[in-house]
């Protein structure tokens, strides 16, 4: 990816560390995420549940917020893990969030090797669709 060195072990370790900051009193499923940006920064997030389940924030939501709060940019690679330290797939909403901030080339940590975002969200609706699909 454009000469950026991706240290998957580091991303996964940082994601595991974020599971310890998760707030999951309802499901008990701790989730942490860590991503590499195009300029080499690491951004992180953890899930934050809410008694009104629909208001729960996934780890990827926190990560995207961290991305914006620390200067923006593009996500290049991400590791999302459960409390057991193993990769966990992003939900549909989070796939859309990650596509928005990483595009089709974003790489996701997977036990069988990195997976491109466009394989997880084929035919994604993205920012470019707003210009081409807007009515006149």
Active site residues: 60
Q: How far apart are CA 29 and CA 46, in angstroms?
A: 11
With beta carbons less than 8 A apart as the criterion, state whether 32 and 19 touch: yes
Residues 6+ apart with CB under 8 A from 126: 99, 100, 103
How does DSSP classify residue 23? B
């Amino acid at each position: 990816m454009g000469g950026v060195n991706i240290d998957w072990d580091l991303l996964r370790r940082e994601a595991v560390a974020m599971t310890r900051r998760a707030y999951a009193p309802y499901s008990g499923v701790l989730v942490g995420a860590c991503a590499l940006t195009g300029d080499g920064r690491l951004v992180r997030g953890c899930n934050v549940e809410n008694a009104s389940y629909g208001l729960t924030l996934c780890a990827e939501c926190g990560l995207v917020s961290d991305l914006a709060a620390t200067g923006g940019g593009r996500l290049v690679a991400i590791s999302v893990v459960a409390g057991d330290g193993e990769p966990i797939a992003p939900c549909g909403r989070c796939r859309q969030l990650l596509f928005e901030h990483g595009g089709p080339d974003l790489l996701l940590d997977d036990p069988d090797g990195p997976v491109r975002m466009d394989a997880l969200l084929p035919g994604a609706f993205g920012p470019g669709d707003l210009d081409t699909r807007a009515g006149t």
